[in-house]
Amino acid sequence: MVDMWELLDNEPFEARVAFRAQVRDLVWNETRRRVSFLGLSEHGGPTSPNALAPASAAAKVLHIAYLEVATEAGISARELANDAATRAGRAAASYAELGEAAGITRQAARKRWPEAVGTHWALYLLTGKRHPHGRAVQVFRSSSKAIEAGRTAVDEGGLTDDGAVAAVVIDSGRQAVWACYFDNGTYAPEEITLPEDLETVPAPGEGEHGEWQHRWERHITRLL
| Average pLDDT over the chain, rounded to an integer | 84
Q: What is the mean pLDDT of residues 154-180?
A: 91
Task: Name the range with the highest mean pLDDT among 25-39, 54-68, 202-216.
Answer: 202-216
pLDDT given at position 12: 66
Which tens digits make up the pLDDT trace of 35-77?
Answer: 876 565 544 556 666 666 666 777 788 888 889 999 999 999 9
Which tens digits make up the pLDDT trace of 122-157?
Answer: 999 999 888 778 999 998 878 899 999 999 999 998
Q: What is the mean pLDDT of residues 72-101?
A: 89
Measure the CA–CA gap between 191 and 56, rounded to whole angstroms: 78
Q: Do residues 37 and 65 lie in contact, with contact meaning Cβ atoms separated by under 8 Å?
A: no
3-state secondary structure the chain: CCCCCCCCCCCCHHHHHHHHHHHHHHHHHHHHHHCHHHCCECCECCCCCCCCCCCCHHHHHHHHHHHHHHHHHHHHHHHHHHHHHHHHHHCCCCHHHHHHHHCCCHHHHHHHCCCCCCCCEEEEEEECCCCCCEEEEEEECCHHHHHHHHHHHHHHHCCCCCCEEEEEEECCCCEEEEEEEEECCCCEEEECCCCHHHHECCCCCCHHHHHHHHHHHHHHHHHC
Which tens digits make up the pLDDT trace of 96-119?
Answer: 899 999 999 988 988 898 777 777
Measure the CA–CA gap between 34 and 29, rounded to whole angstroms: 9
Any idea where the domains of the chain sit in the sequence?
13-112, 121-223
pLDDT given at position 13: 73
Residue 206, amino acid: E
Residue 79, amino acid: E
pLDDT given at position 122: 92
- In the predicted structure, residue 8 carries a pLDDT above the cut 50: no
pLDDT given at position 42: 47
pLDDT given at position 180: 97
Q: Do residues 2 and 102 lie in contact, with contact meaning Cβ atoms separated by under 8 Å?
A: yes
Q: What is the mean pLDDT of residues 1-30?
A: 71
Q: What is the mean pLDDT of residues 191-198?
A: 95
